[in-house]
């Protein structure tokens, strides 16, 4: 049985339906969603979680109406502008993953600045996935590996080497993925990194996902038996015998198994 998760990833879905149920424009739902990001980030840092990765905007979300896209971009910029001082004060380190080249230059430079200003922080590692797609991440990593090893063939590429070129190279894989909003799909989020992640789906819309709901998800996680392909008996023995090798799933060394 697990005691805690060090890396939680969240697909923050349901802002639009939250607003619709209240006869309000979708953008109001996004504003409430952004306010909830502030709340949950603060709570996660206070409870000592090491890594929190939030899906804020997918590579497919450009397909939404232009006014909704620009409202989301505006909220992202506003979030960076209002939160970095607080992140510095409480020790949160911010990273942004995704193809940021598609963003307005002002947003790009604000992202760079926020990352630099929080780079020395040692509290919660907050990662915002923006213009992120799991397929993009894997393809980009393969190309980066090839560029770094021009003399080698793709036959030499293994899971460990590829994971070192993903946008999440500095992060352990998430042990727990939460999706709010009632859908049970990954929607092109962390495809490679969730190979053995526990998946938790809740009908709560993102603006309603509060600290108690996060606690409930973490408790659910703590009750999972993580077998990584083994039998229950092996897992029980592995927790008693320290030399049992861990399977190579591209999982980095600092991740606790079981
Ligand atoms: C999640 O909420 C926010 C983003 C995808 C940016 P949605 O906007 O997808 O909300 P629903 O799914 O329409 O309710
Ligand atoms: C996933 O939500 C992306 C984010 C939460 C940022 P979507 O609402 O875009 O997902 P689909 O399109 O319903 O799968
Ligand atoms: Mg949605």
Q: Whose CA is nearest to atom 6 of ligand 1?
A: 57
Probe target for ligand 1 pocket from 10, 11, 17, with the most ligand atoms within 8 Å of CB: 17
Domain span at 220:
7-134+174-242
Residue 178 lies in a domain: yes
127: CA distance to ligand 3 center in Å? 20
The one catalytic residue in 2, 61, 170, 210 is 61
Classify burial at 117, counting beta carbons within 10 Å of its beta carbon; exposed 0-12, middle 13-18, buried 19 or more. Answer: middle
Residue 180 lies in a domain: yes
Q: Whose CA is nearest to atom 11 of ligand 2?
A: 187
> Does the Cβ of 50 fall within 6 Å of ligand 1?
no
Examine the residue annotation and report whether 2 is marked as an active-site residue of this protein. Answer: no
What distance in Å separates the CA atoms of residue 239 and residue 225, rounded to the nearest whole number?
A: 12
Probe target for ligand 2 pocket from 12, 17, 53, 61, with the most ligand atoms within 8 Å of CB: 61
Residue 13 lies in a domain: yes
Classify burial at 198, counting beta carbons within 10 Å of its beta carbon; exposed 0-12, middle 13-18, buried 19 or more. Answer: buried
The pLDDT score that the predictor gives to residue 258 is 34
Residue 164 lies in a domain: no
Residue 142 lies in a domain: no
Examine the residue annotation and report whether 13 is marked as an active-site residue of this protein. Answer: yes
The pLDDT score that the predictor gives to residue 244 is 42
Residue 247 lies in a domain: no
14: CA distance to ligand 1 center in Å? 5
Residue 156 lies in a domain: no
CATH code: domain of residue 49 = 3.40.1180.10
- Per the structure, the count of domains in the chain is 1
> Does the Cβ of 12 fall within 6 Å of ligand 1?
yes
- How high is the mean pLDDT in each 10-residue block of the chain (258 residues)? 87 98 98 98 96 98 98 98 96 98 98 98 98 98 97 96 98 98 98 98 98 98 94 88 47 39
124: CA distance to ligand 1 center in Å? 25
Q: Quick one: which atom of ligand 2 is closest to the CA of 185?
A: 14
The one catalytic residue in 13, 15, 45, 137 is 13
> Does the Cβ of 16 fall within 6 Å of ligand 1?
yes
Q: Which residues surround ligand 3, an ion (CB under 5 A)?
A: 13
Residue 250 lies in a domain: no
34: CA distance to ligand 1 center in Å? 12
């Amino acid at each position: 049985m697990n005691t805690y998760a060090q890396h939680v990833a969240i697909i923050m879905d349901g802002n639009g339906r939250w607003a619709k149920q209240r006869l309000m424009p979708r953008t109001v739902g996004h504003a409430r969603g952004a306010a909830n990001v502030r709340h949950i980030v603060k709570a996660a840092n206070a409870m000592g979680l090491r890594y929190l990765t939030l899906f804020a905007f997918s590579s497919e979300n450009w397909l939404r109406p232009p006014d909704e896209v620009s409202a989301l971009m505006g909220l992202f910029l506003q979030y960076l502008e209002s939160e970095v001082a607080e992140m510095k004060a409480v020790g949160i380190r911010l990273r942004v993953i995704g193809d940021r080249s598609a963003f307005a230059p002002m947003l790009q430079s604000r992202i760079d600045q926020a990352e630099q200003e929080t780079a020395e922080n040692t509290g919660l590692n907050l990662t915002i996935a923006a213009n992120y797609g799991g397929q993009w991440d894997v393809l980009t990593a393969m190309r980066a590996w090839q560029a770094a090893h021009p003399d080698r063939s793709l036959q030499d590429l293994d899971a460990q080497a590829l994971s070192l070129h993903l946008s999440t190279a500095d992060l352990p894989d998430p042990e727990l993925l939460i999706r709010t909003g009632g859908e049970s799909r990954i929607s092109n989020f962390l495809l490679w990194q969730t190979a053995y992640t526990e998946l938790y789906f809740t009908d709560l819309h993102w603006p309603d996902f509060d600290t108690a709901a996060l606690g409930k998800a973490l408790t659910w996680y703590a009750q999972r038996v993580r077998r990584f392909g083994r039998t229950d008996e092996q897992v029980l023995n592995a927790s008693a015998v320290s030399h049992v090798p861990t399977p190579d799933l591209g999982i980095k060394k600092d991740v606790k198994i079981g």
